[in-house]
């Protein structure tokens, strides 16, 4: 980025602080309207609670604040890329996010798409996207290279459901009956389920409370009281049975 572009991006930080959440909420609504297939990627339960819009707003602001020295964002980048890899986020999806983000900045702040401000934000976004895509590629490669590892989604079968006081313990085994990587307590997988009566799927992360060494993944699912019909936990608890299939991403560490 040239110094003038850095200046332009940094100057929008106070404005974004004021309207950051409004901007990202607007951005999500716009993007999901234009790309309904992304309803399978984003957790709609999180969308309605505003959790994800806040997280993205915070990340965009932190980046703008540190545009001259993105290395200070190493911890945030590690966190975001781990989550993205667990959700099988792909490089080509960055173009969709970028396009909708820039249009949203333009529309919410009422500046033309052809303005220097949007051009500067485009360079900034591409710079951040490049960093994330690079780190994510490394993580996908590492996951696929492990014995029993894989990148993206893999089909698992519900082998057992045990009722507990606090919820239900689900045990999953891979449909291909091949090896699966062991996982430490505290690491997590994403599980993707079909939403009943709707043609969409929804992902959600579940953490392991114990080391996973038995060629199956087992975790406790607890009911979510305030959730919408998109709560993966409630869908698992209320509609999934032994021998049903789910999509699972390889375990990653927080």
Query: Residues interacting with ligand HEM, by CB under 6 A?
Result: 38, 41-43, 46, 52, 55-56, 59-60, 79-80, 83-84, 87, 89, 93-94, 97, 128-129, 132
Reply yes or no on whether 224 is catalytic.
no
Give the residue with the Cβ less far from ligand HEM, 85 or 117. 85
Give the residue with the Cβ less far from ligand HEM, 87 or 221. 87
Reply yes or no on whether 136 is catalytic.
yes
Give the residue with the Cβ less far from ligand HEM, 122 or 159. 122
Quote the least distance from Cβ 131 to ligand HEM, whole Å.
8
Give the residue with the Cβ less far from ligand HEM, 30 or 79. 79
Active-site residue, from 94, 140, 217, 240: 94
Position of minimal CB gap to ligand HEM: 43
Quote the least distance from Cβ 203 to ligand HEM, whole Å.
7
Quote the least distance from Cβ 185 to ligand HEM, whole Å.
19
Active-site residue, from 26, 28, 63, 136: 136
Mapping DSSP onto H, E and C, the string for the chain reads: CCHHHHHHHHHCHHHHHHHHHHHHHHHHHHHHHHCHHHHHCCCHHHHHHCHHHHHHHHHHHHHHHCCCCHHHHHHHHHHHHHHHHHCCCCHHHHHHHHHHHHHHHHHHCCCCCCCHHHHHHHHHHHHHHHHHHHHHHHHHHHHHHCCCCCCCEEEEEEEEEEEECCEEEEEEEECCCCCCCCECCCCEEEEEEECCCCCCEEEEEEECCCCECCCCEEEEECCCCCCCCCCHHHHHHHHCCCCCEEEEECCECC
Quote the least distance from Cβ 207 to ligand HEM, whole Å.
13
- Residues catalogued as catalytic: 94, 136
């Amino acid at each position: 980025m040239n110094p003038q572009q850095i200046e332009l991006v940094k100057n929008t930080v106070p404005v974004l602080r004021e309207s950051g959440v409004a901007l990202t909420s607007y951005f999500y609504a716009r993007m999901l309207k234009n790309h309904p297939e992304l309803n399978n990627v984003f957790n709609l339960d999180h969308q309605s609670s505003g959790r994800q819009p806040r997280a993205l707003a915070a990340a965009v602001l932190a980046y703008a604040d540190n545009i001259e020295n993105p290395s200070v964002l190493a911890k945030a980048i590690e966190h975001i890329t781990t989550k993205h890899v667990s959700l099988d986020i792909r490089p080509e999806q960055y173009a969709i996010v970028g396009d909708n983000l820039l249009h949203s900045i333009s529309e919410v702040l009422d500046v033309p798409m052809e303005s220097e401000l949007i051009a500067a934000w485009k360079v900034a976004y591409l710079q951040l996207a490049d960093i994330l895509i690079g780190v994510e590629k490394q993580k996908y490669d590492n996951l696929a290279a492990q014995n029993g590892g894989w990148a993206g989604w893999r089909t698992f079968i519900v082998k057992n459901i045990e009722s507990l006081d606090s919820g239900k313990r689900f045990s999953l085994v891979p449909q291909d009956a091949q090896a699966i990587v062991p996982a430490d307590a505290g690491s997590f997988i994403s599980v993707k389920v079909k939403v009943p009566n709707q043609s969409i799927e929804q992902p959600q992360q579940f953490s392991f409370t114990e080391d996973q060494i038995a060629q199956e993944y087992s975790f406790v699912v607890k009911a979510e009281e305030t959730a919408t019909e998109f709560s993966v936990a409630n869908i698992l608890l209320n509609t999934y049975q032994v021998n049903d299939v789910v999509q699972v991403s390889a375990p990653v560490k927080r």
